[in-house]
Structure 1
Amino acid sequence: MVPRIALHFTWLLLAVCVHAGSLLLQNPRFTITSSTAAQLRADTLSLTEKPEPLKLEPSDTLKLTFQITEKSEGKGVQPHQTFLRFYDSVSGEEGIQPVRVTPGGKAKFELNMARPPASLPPTTDHPLEVSLILGSFVHEPTTFDLFDLYVPSSYTPVPHPDEAKFHKLPLIHHTFRPEQKLPPKFVSAIFAALVLSPWLVLLGLWSKIGVRVPHLFSPRIIPFTVLLGAFEALLCWYWVDLKLGQVLLYGGILAIPTIFAGKTALAATGEWRTGKN
C-alpha cells in the first residue's frame, strides 16, 4: 500500500513541476500603421482562434507586443530564446526573426515593410503563417500560432555572379588524339644520315690535314678528355632514360673534377707551347 501511495505522490509531484514550468502569452496585441503613422488596424490576438489575415502594404508597419509569464505564478519571465517564424506553406520557405524580451517578460516587435528584415522569406501572393516560438532551459518549449500575414510580393533576387559554379555541370567526355604515325624507316634513315654527315666530313678533313695530337694520352691530359667523354655519355643517357633533375645532379658532380682536370690540362698545354717542358 505504501509503495503505491509513494508512486501516486511521485506522479503528482511531477505533474505539479511540469505545470509550474509552462509559459503563457499575455496580452498579445498587434497594430498596423501607415507611413503617415495613421492607425489602419489594431486588435488583441486570441490564442485559440486566428483573426482575419493581416495585410501590409509596401509602406506599412506592423507592431506586435506581448508579455511572457509563468502559468503557475503569473509573473513575467525571460525565455532563453524567443523567435517569430514566418512560414510560406506553399513554397516551403521560412524565415526566423529573433525577438528581444525584457527580464520582466515584455516584448515588442516591429516589421517595417519599407525596410523588411533579411530574415523575411521570399514572398508571393500567398500568406505567411506567423508563429511565436519560446525556448527555455527551465520551462517547456512552447509555440503559439498567431496569425496569417499578407505582405507585398518580393522581387526576384538577383543571381549571384558565382551561382553558376554551383550548378550541375555537364558530363566530361575525354577525347584523345589518334596515335602519331611514324614516318617510313627509309625516310628516318635518310635524316639520320644527314645528322651524322658533319662528323664524316670532319673525319675526312682531319685525314687530309693530318691532325696530330701527340699529348692526347698524357697523364695530365687524359683525365680531362675522359671527363669530357663522361659528359657526352651523360647527355646520351639523358636522351634515352634520365630526367632533367638527374642530369643536373650528375652533371654537377662531374663538373667539380672536370674544372680541376681542365685547369691542369691547360697549364700543361701552355708549358708545351712555351717549351718549358
Structure 2
Amino acid sequence: MIWQFSWLLLAATVQAASLSLQSPRFTISASDATQLRSDTLSLTKKPEPLTLGATDTLKLTFQITESDEGKGVQPHQTFLRFYDKESGEEGIQPIRVTPGGKAKFELNMMRPLTSIPPTTHNPLEVSLILGSFVHAPAQYDLFDLYIPASHTPAEHPDEASFHVLPAIKHTFRPEQKSPPQFISAVFAAAVLSPWLVLIGLWSKIDVRVPNLFSLSIMPFTALLGAFEVLLVWYWVDLKLGQVLLYGGILAIPTVFAGKQALYATGEWRAGRK
C-alpha cells in the first residue's frame, strides 16, 4: 500500500512540474517587411507546411510556463531541432529564454544559420525541445518547413587525402652496365702504381730503425698500433661516443710512453746509451 502511494505521489509531482507553451506564434515576412503569413501554432496539430523564399524571414515567439500554475519559467536548456526525415540530417539551434519564460527566434534566409542542415526539396520537421532539472522534459512538434535547397559545399583542400589513392607502381632504372674487364684492370693498376713506386724507392734507401723494439720505444709503438685498431673497429662496429671514450683512455698512457720514447731517442743520439 505504501509502495503504491509513493508511485502516485511521484506521478503527481511529475505532472505538477511539467512544462507547457503559451501563445506560440510564427510570422513570415518578405525582405521589404511585408507580412506573408502569420498564425498561432497548435500543440496538438501541425499547421500547413511553412515555406520560406531566398529573402524571407521567419519569426517565432512563445512563452514557457508551468502547466498547472501558468507561471513563466526559464528551462535550463531550450533547443529548436531541424530534422530532414529523408536524409536523416539534423541541426540543433539553442534558444535564449528570459527568466519570465519568453523566447523568440528569427531565421533570415539571406543570412541562414549554420545549424540548419543541408536541404533539398524535402521539408524540415521543426520541433522544440525543453530540458530542466526541476521539470519534466518536453518536446513539441511545431511545423514542417520548406526552405531553398542548400548549395553544394566547396570541396575542402584536404578532401583528396581521405579517398582511396591509386596503387603505387614502382619504376626502377635499368641495371647499370659494368665496363669491360680490361678497362677495370687498367684503372686498378693506375690506383696501385703509386704504392709500387713507393715500395721501389724504399728498397733503394737504407732505412735503419735499430731501437724500434727496445723497451723504451716498443710501448709507444704498440699504443699507436692500438689507435689504428680502434679506428678500424670504429669503421666496423663502434659509435662515435665509444671511440671518443676508448681514445681518451688510450691517450693517457700514449702521452707518457711518447715522452719516454722521445727521451730515449735523445739519449741515443747524444751517444749516452
Q: TM-score, structure 1 length as denominator?
A: 0.81
Q: State the Cα distance separating 1:149 from its structure 2 match.
A: 0.7
* SS of corresponding position for 1:104: coil
Looking at structure 2, the residues matched to 201 and 14 of structure 1 have their Cα atoms a distance apart, in angstroms, of 113
Q: Could you tell me which residue of structure 2 aligns to residue 185 of structure 1?
A: none
Q: Which whole-Å deviations, capped at 9, do the CAs of 1:107-145 have from their partners, x for residues lacking one?
A: 000011111111111111111111101011111111111
Q: Could you tell me which residue of structure 2 aligns to residue 186 of structure 1?
A: none
Q: State the Cα distance separating 1:214 from its structure 2 match.
A: 2.6
Q: Which whole-Å deviations, capped at 9, do the CAs of 1:176-205 have from their partners, x for residues lacking one?
A: 99xxxxxxxxxxxx9999988766665554
Kindly report which structure 2 residues correspond to 1:31-70, keeping only aligned pairs within 5 A, or say none. Answer: 31-70=27-66
Question: Does residue 215 of the first structure (1) align with residue 211 of the second (2)?
Answer: yes
Q: Could you tell me which residue of structure 1 aligns to residue 150 of structure 2?
A: 154
Looking at structure 2, the residues matched to 205 and 71 of structure 1 have their Cα atoms a distance apart, in angstroms, of 118
Q: State the Cα distance separating 1:270 from its structure 2 match.
A: 6.0
Q: Which amino acid aligns with 2:134?
A: V
Kindly report which structure 2 residues correspond to 1:175-214, keeping only aligned pairs within 5 A, or say none. Answer: 202-214=198-210
Q: Could you tell me which residue of structure 2 aligns to residue 253 of structure 1?
A: 249
How has the CA–CA distance of structure 1 residues 100 and 245 changed in structure 2, closer, same or farther, with 3 Å as cutoff? same
Unaligned runs of 5+ residues in structure 2 are 174-185
How has the CA–CA distance of structure 1 residues 142 and 270 changed in structure 2, closer, same or farther, with 3 Å as cutoff? farther
* CA RMSD across the alignment: 3.6
Aligned counterpart in structure 1 of residue 18 of structure 2, from 6, 18, 22: 22
Q: Could you tell me which residue of structure 2 aligns to residue 165 of structure 1?
A: 161
Q: Could you tell me which residue of structure 1 aligns to residue 80 of structure 2?
A: 84
Q: State the Cα distance separating 1:153 from its structure 2 match.
A: 1.1
Q: Which amino acid aligns with 1:132?
A: L
Q: Which amino acid aligns with 2:103?
A: A
Identity over aligned residues, as a percent?
A: 76
How has the CA–CA distance of structure 1 residues 215 and 91 changed in structure 2, closer, same or farther, with 3 Å as cutoff? same
Q: TM-score, structure 2 length as denominator?
A: 0.82
Looking at structure 2, the residues matched to 118 and 39 of structure 1 have their Cα atoms a distance apart, in angstroms, of 25
Q: Could you tell me which residue of structure 2 aligns to residue 183 of structure 1?
A: none
Q: State the Cα distance separating 1:261 from its structure 2 match.
A: 4.1
Unaligned runs of 5+ residues in structure 1 are 178-189
Aligned length: 272
